[in-house]
Amino acid sequence: MKPLKNIGVIGAGTMGAALAQKFAQEGFVVTLADREMQFIDKGIAGIKNTLQEGINRKLFTEEQMDYFVNNIHGTSELADLKICDIVVEAIFEDFDVKSDLYKQLAGILKPEAVLATNTSSFSVTELAKSAPNPANFVGLHYFFHAAKNRLVEIIPGEQTSQETIDKCHQFAFLSGKDPITCKDRNGFVVNRFFVPWLNESVRLYEQGIAGPGEIDAVCEKVFKIGMGPFALMNATGVPIAYHAQKTLELFGDLYTVSERLKKQALETGEPWQIDKADPAAISAEVFEKIRVRMLGVVFLVCAQILAEQICSAVALNRGARIGLRWSRGPVELMQASGKKEVNDLIMHIAGLYQTPIPQTIGQEHWSMDYVTLKTSGATAVLSIEKPEDMNALNEQVVKQLDEKFSIAETDPVIKTIFLTGAGKAFVAGADIRFFVNNIRKHSIEKIVEFTTYGQSVFEKIDNSSKHVIALVNGLALGGGLELALCADKIIAVENAAVAFPETGIGIYPGLGGTQRPQKRVGKALTKYLVGTGQMLTAKKAVEIGLFDGIVTRSEAFEILAGELDLIPEESSVRPDGWDEIERYFELNSFTKIIGNKSDPATKDNKILSRIPGKLASKAPVALKIAEQLIDDAAGCHTELEKLETVFSTEDALLGLTSIGRRVEFSGK
């Protein structure tokens, strides 16, 4: 597959400008087109304002901002799009205007160029009839704010080629987006259930059951979200909710636009008046009516989506988690509610709107694959795909990892197995919620069982007869770094970062983190990594020999697609400084360093000046156990012996519930 470099965006409004910004940030050369340069100027001014906010938050520098902006070239001439590999149309929602635009692009776009529409309401198949090449036409539906929200729905039309779909997945990977693929049906995935959810909230208000503030309060509690439906409509614009709902009315009475929503959008034009309410002050009867209606609508529509096979259960759930930032997606909510409760809620809504009940209610329809296995010839690619949780390891993910790896391991055709992740993380450690919940339930034995099983899976990977390559596509923390270290070779993308943060959150590495790094970097640098929790860039990881090489994101995609065989070999010569750190930890224990009693020969070295403070900020019990495990070097299984001890400490609960905040550990 040819590399993608030049990207076109048509429409410099809110969405188009945000897309141009995102693509430019990811290193693409962007041609931003609109009818007049005044619209381009306004769009770029908005981009600069957004980027300045990022600078104020120390997300990037002035130099980076200049680089991003310089990657964007504005034009009022469609002919300037002739260099583009992919063109994304992001103009206003008017079918005839879009169709006319596509006709104008005939003879301008390269024959192999992909033309994508960001439509949220029109049929991709119908729009494709006006496209220069329907096989190269596709829907790429992005979500607000497109420079920050990682979700994109990939919607093939009836004539969209597989090559075009593959290019879209490549583009999503390279542009830092998390894709879900769905059929070309009104509303696609997210809007299909989200917009009726908004509409139902207005119906509750219209029927006098509760006010906007009360409805928002109940929804925020039930769905565990930061903003209720009325606040969300105010943020995005009430007319947008109205017009989106109108496009869904063909699905039946359940989808008919509320009269109150129509009036608010077309007559008053005002945002909703929301009187903030305390959910505890809402009567149990009213609370239950809101809960039943709002959950019921989501469950019924999502059951319809699954019945119509618009997308998979995991894609449906991911759409809500990433696109809407729900803490739990609809499939997770259905799993937690159970078949009977879900069935009762759906029956209630179906009765209200005379809607058939889908036959997709039950765990067999709600199963989600978070680990995928793809094979091509003698190569298997095993990918952890739960980007909504940074691919964090939990019982379900580890079990699927075990099952999928075993399939590849026992396949006599497979010679090489790649391990990688989806999204911006390889694996960002274990699921902290699992640890916290079991500590609070006094069920630490479950943590021990999970870790024991995890170690057995990692050992299987470590001892595999196949050639295992970890392609670290992003953040690898704790268990993620431990997983990578099971591989025979570790390759990272340029922007990957790795660390063992455990001692800073009250625990120690339990999946081989005190043992396997020693084989690559030795005992002293393992102490440095585990004790300080220092984050390393991919470059630094290669410098010390922890990783074997670095590739660009484009090269990583080609490697996983089987289009690039070259795996880089990097120099193992360590730059100045690393030998001094190694010597420091060879001469001094954690206790001596923290007590400022380290060896005089290294005590005053500037490179090492921060280490005592870093070690002193860690959990003492975890630090002591980790050092002993590293010193003993008796095998990964020894990490299991002190798990109950460390997870029983006050420091463990404090650290695990204070991620991202500075805390002082007591050593208890």
Find where tokens 């614009």 sit.
237
647 in Cβ contact with 444 (< 8 Å): yes
Kindly state the tokens that stand for 10.
């048509």
Q: Which helix (H) or strand (E) holds 376?
A: strand 371-376
CA gap 33, 315 in Å, rounded: 32
- Assess whether 120 carries a catalytic annotation: yes
Amino acid making up residue 449: E
DSSP letters along 287-341, please?
HHHHHHHHHHHHHHHHHHHHHTTSS-HHHHHHIIIIIS--SS-HHHHHHHH-HHH
Does the active-site annotation cover 443?
no
Going through 130-207 in order, the beta strands assigned E by DSSP cover: 137-142, 151-156, 178-181
Helix (H, G, I), strand (E, B) or coil at 117: strand
Q: To the nearest 5 percent, what fractions of the chain are helix, strand and coil?
A: 55, 15, 35
Q: Is 495 among the catalytic positions? A: no
Q: Which of 171, 159, 121, 113 is nearest to 141 (CA)?
A: 121
DSSP E strand boundaries for 56-174: 72-75, 86-89, 114-117, 137-142, 151-156
Lookup result for tokens 């392609």: 471
Local structure of residue 17 (DSSP, 8 states): H
Kindly name the residue from 118, 123, 130, 141 that is annotated as catalytic: 141
Q: Could you say which of 71, 118, 130, 191 is catalytic?
A: 191
**Which tokens hold the place of 127?**
């729009």
**Contact status, residue 384 vs residue 371, Cβ threshold 8 Å:** yes
Of 124, 116, 93, 117, the residue nearest 237 (C-alpha): 93
Please work out, in degrees rounded to the nearest 5, the angle formed at the alpha carbon of residue 640 by the alpha carbons of 637 and 644: 170
Q: Which of 6, 130, 153, 200 is catalytic?
A: 153
Concerning whether 312 is annotated as a catalytic residue, the answer is no
Spatial distance between the Cα atoms of 305 and 323, rounded to a whole number of angstroms: 17
- Please identify which of the residues 71, 120, 130, 175 carries the catalytic annotation: 120
β 114-117/137-142 pair status? parallel
Catalytically active residues are 120, 141, 153, 191
